[in-house]
Amino acid sequence: MPDTPLPHRPDLFTWEFAADPYPAYAWLREHAPVHRTTLPSGVDAWLVTRYADARQALADARLSKNPVHHSEQAHRAGRVGIPGERQADLMTHLLNIDPPDHTRLRRLVSKAFTPRRVAEFEPRVQELTDRLIDSFAERGSADLIHEFAFPLPIYAICDLLGVPAEDQDDFRDWAGMMIRHGRGPRGGVARAVKRMRGYLAELIHRKRADLGDDLISGLIRASDHGEHLTENEAAAMAFILLFAGFETTVNLIGNGLYALLRNPGQRALLQASVARGESGLLETGIEELLRYDGPVELATWRFATVPLTVGGVGIPAGDPVLVVLAAADRDPARFSDENTLDLARTDNPHLGFGHGIHYCIGAPLARLEGRAALATLLTRLPDLELAADPDELRWRGGLIMRGLRELPVSFTPSGG
């Protein structure tokens, strides 16, 4: 099966695919649900596209997150993992490790990154959201990626971590470099990661001497059976919180708004519900937007530690396995009317935040930001509409994430 040519297999990882990968995923789910392919980086990997197989693979302890299980050569060439992280010594974060280290670090971060800390952060997220909308509300037009979806998560995570306000624009620039260079030369990403690494190391050092209420201080303070995070572990943790919590949330807001603008009936229902002060449809709606066009297309790398079988297909030890969350979440075997956006959907165990021990630790924060962003925009700019031909919009189709590069909109100017 692995190397058998597949008649009519749609091209993967092209620009057309980035704009709408769902027909290709439907084809894979039906004809080649566990499929070995060559990625644009030249690495061969297995794509898992059916919901049941995906859920099982995400929880399979024989699939390691640690890149040492992959061929040394591909690993050294920097072809797996987050570009730039190796040079900057940030490898030991949650998405690259297995138990027992993962269990220890996850327990430590959970003590600092609590649901209560996130809930207490709600007024601040609301304030940030309003401030960003103020900056373009009187103009009558905006690019909602650059002016809204992009800065909101950066400022939010910086605030939560305890990055002083005067340094947050540096983070905005570094994050911008990381996103812009997603498919381009690696140098820019590596430089941005390195600067961020240097800054975080220094910040952690300063905070250790003067602990506050922020998340970095919480990480330094957290102890587990007398163990503390080393400064290196704390820096890697702060980095992965930033990295994992930033472009994902940009895309939740961007893809989510786009889906609403393309589905006026659903948008009208949500707008009316929010205007009545209800939260129910907004909450199920965020989950549905994660299922329908989630920010994370493929879960991050996993490697077979032993020969194993997924969906009846044998995978040799050492091979990378990529679980295609976006394909699993449109599997008609699990979701009725899988291609329909239904904000009121309640039977919705989507995999947009992953599954198993690596389930997204930032999900409560992402949901909070998503709710604030969508509800506030629809309330303050009620006649918001797309100001571009949908076919002309450009998508950023990195390997892991998928999102719009720009989202031009127009609306009746509002004084705020």
269 binds ligand HEM (CB under 6 A): no
Q: Which stretch binds ligand HEM (CB under 6 A): 10-18, 126-134, 181-189, 243-251?
A: 243-251
215 binds ligand HEM (CB under 6 A): no
Tell how strand 44-48 and strand 34-38 pair up: antiparallel
- Cβ proximity to ligand HEM: between 74 and 323 the closer is 323
362 binds ligand HEM (CB under 6 A): yes
Among the listed residues 196, 282, 289, 361, the single contact to ligand HEM using CB under 6 A:
361
Q: Which two tokens stand for residue 131?
A: 């401030």
Q: Can you tell me which residue has the tokens 């129910």?
A: 280
Q: How many residues does the chain have?
A: 416
Q: Identity (one letter) of the amino acid at 261? A: L
Q: Rounded CA gap, 275 and 375, in Å? A: 9
Among the listed residues 358, 371, 396, 402, the single contact to ligand HEM using CB under 6 A:
358
249 binds ligand HEM (CB under 6 A): yes
Query: In terms of C-beta density within 10 A (0-12 exposed, 13-18 middle, 19 or more buried), how is residue 321 classed?
Result: buried
Q: Which stretch binds ligand HEM (CB under 6 A): 32-40, 225-233, 355-363, 372-380?
A: 355-363
Q: How far is the CB of 355 from ligand HEM (least distance, A)?
A: 7
267 binds ligand HEM (CB under 6 A): no
250 binds ligand HEM (CB under 6 A): no
Among the listed residues 21, 182, 218, 245, the single contact to ligand HEM using CB under 6 A:
245
Give Cα separations from 13 to 121, 252, 377 (angstroms).
Answer: 38, 21, 32
Q: Between residue 271 and residue 330, which ones bind ligand HEM under the rule CB under 6 A? A: 294-296, 299-300
Q: Rounded CA gap, 219 and 204, in Å? A: 10
Q: How far is the CB of 354 from ligand HEM (least distance, A)?
A: 3
Phi, psi torsion values for 309, nearest 5 degrees? -120, 130
Q: Rounded CA gap, 208 and 217, in Å? A: 7
- Cβ proximity to ligand HEM: between 283 and 387 the closer is 283
Q: Are 178 and 193 in contact (CB under 8 A)?
A: yes
- Cβ proximity to ligand HEM: between 94 and 378 the closer is 94
Size of the site for ligand HEM (CB under 6 A): 26
Return the SS3 of 343.
Answer: coil
Give Cα separations from 298 to 67, 153, 325, 398 (angstroms).
Answer: 16, 21, 5, 10
| Closest of 320, 310, 314, 308 to residue 73, by C-alpha | 320
- Cβ proximity to ligand HEM: between 28 and 326 the closer is 326
151 binds ligand HEM (CB under 6 A): no
163 binds ligand HEM (CB under 6 A): no
Strands (E), 113-266: 141-143
Binding-site ranges for ligand HEM (CB under 6 A):
58, 94-95, 106, 157, 240-241, 244-245, 248-249, 252, 294-296, 299-300, 352-354, 358, 360-362, 365-366
